[in-house]
A = this chain, B = another copy of it.
Amino acid sequence: MASASLQEAVSVLKSTNVRMTPQRHAILEFLHSSMSHPTADDIYKSLEERFPNMSVATVYNNLRVFKDAGIVKELTYGDSSSRFDCVTSDHYHVICNDCGKIVDFHYPGLDEVETLAEHVTGFDIEDHRMEIYGTCPECTKMSKQ
C-alpha cells in the first residue's frame, strides 16, 4: 500500500498493461509534487500551459486509471468536486470547515478498527479513511478580529 515515489508509481502502471504517455506522466508528476490535494480541474489548469490541447476527459480518465491501479485515492468531501491524493502511506486528513484547507495527519494504530469491523460485520475489510474537521488557525484568527 505504499508507493512512495513517482518512479514506483510508473512501474506499478507498467506492470499492468497501461501505457505511459506524456499526459499521464505529467498528471502523476503534479500529484506527487503538489502537497495539496488537487481537484481534477486543478490538475487540468496546471497542465494547460504544457499541454494546450489536453482534454478534461483525459484528466478524469487517467485519474480513474490511477485509482484502479491503487496509486491514487479519491477524496470526496462536502464540496462539489473530488480531490485526489497519491497513496504514500497511511495518513488522515484534517480539514478546515471555513476555508477547506486540508492538512495531512499521521496517527498510527487504527488497524485494530479494521479487525474489529471484520468481526462485527462479517465484511472482508480492505481499507479505511478518517477525516477530522475543525477550524484552522488562520480562520480562527480572522473570526476573532
Contacts and interface: CB of A to CB of B under 8 A. Distances in A.
Contacts of A118: 134
Interface in A103-141: 103, 105, 107, 113-114, 116-118, 120-137, 140
Interface residues of A, number: 35
A22 interface: no
Number of copies: 2
Contacts of A78: 74, 76
A128 B123 contact: no
Nearest to A130: B130
A48 B75 CA distance: 33
B134 A124 contact: yes
A77 B94 CA distance: 17
